[in-house]
Amino acid sequence: MKLDFWFEFASTYSYPTVMRIEELAAARGVELSWRAFLLGPIFKEQGWDDSPFNLYPAKGRYMWRDLNRICEGQGIRFQHPSTFPRNGLLAARVACQFATAPWIGDFVRAVYTANFAEDREIADPETIADCLSALGEDPATILEAAASDAAKGALRVQSKEAKDLGIFGAPSFSVKGELFWGNDRLEQALDWAEDPA
């Protein structure tokens, strides 16, 4: 069965998920659907104009330490970003418009690595262009398509779909309307995709 993977490029806990989800899904024969969305508008409706990790400092301090432990356990690089959260709008438009491209997984991992391992500004089109070039893709063509009205509208529609599913954070996973939230629910979501109760 298909697993919808909902991610937001600014989301810290989406980083360890992004780095392992494709391999785990493939190993179980679960079809993976990459669903980029924007959390900002959802947070705004809850009265938050910033990441809850900035608004609630104790929670934020814990999250960075926890993320550090998770990345260490998973063997992936981690560097505390000098800016948080970073604006992932451009990356999300690319990921939404090219969700079924053969390079989508590599692209998403490259952007998260830029943000959370290399401390690069993913709001900068140059960073996104570098991520695409490194995959052997043509940044100019892709960034032009991502700037089209169709691509902008598609991300808006997809973000609304996330909200309508009851999504309030990232990463989230959905399997036929059943919702799972958080990097530590990935295995359970994959179980569900294999054998929905």
Q: How far is the CB of 116 from a second copy (least distance, A)?
A: 20
User: Which stretch in 15-23, 59-67, 134-142, 152-160 sits in contact with a second copy by CB under 8 A?
Assistant: 59-67
The C-alpha atoms of residue 77 and residue 10 are separated, in whole angstroms, by: 17
Among 23, 27, 29, 46, binds a second copy (CB under 8 A): 46
- Residue 114, CA distances (Å) to 1, 138, 151, 189 in order: 31, 18, 23, 27
Among 83, 166, 176, 194, binds a second copy (CB under 8 A): 166
Residue 176 interacts with a second copy (CB under 8 A): yes or no: no
For residue 182, is it left (φ>0), alpha (ψ between -120 and 50) or beta? left
Residue 169 interacts with a second copy (CB under 8 A): yes or no: yes
Residue 188 interacts with a second copy (CB under 8 A): yes or no: yes
Q: Closer CB to a second copy, residue 63 or residue 101?
A: 63
User: Which stretch in 14-22, 126-134, 150-158, 174-182 sits in contact with a second copy by CB under 8 A?
Assistant: 174-182
User: In the structure encoding, which two tokens stand for residue 130, read together?
Assistant: 């570098």
Among 2, 28, 69, 80, binds a second copy (CB under 8 A): 69
Among 44, 61, 80, 176, binds a second copy (CB under 8 A): 61
Per-position b or e across 10-49, b if 16+ CB within 10 A of its CB? bbbbbbbbbbebbebbeeeebebebbbbbbbebbeeeeee
Residue 44 interacts with a second copy (CB under 8 A): yes or no: no
- Chain contacts with a second copy (rule: CB under 8 A): 46, 56, 58-59, 61-62, 65-66, 69, 166-169, 179-182, 184-185, 188
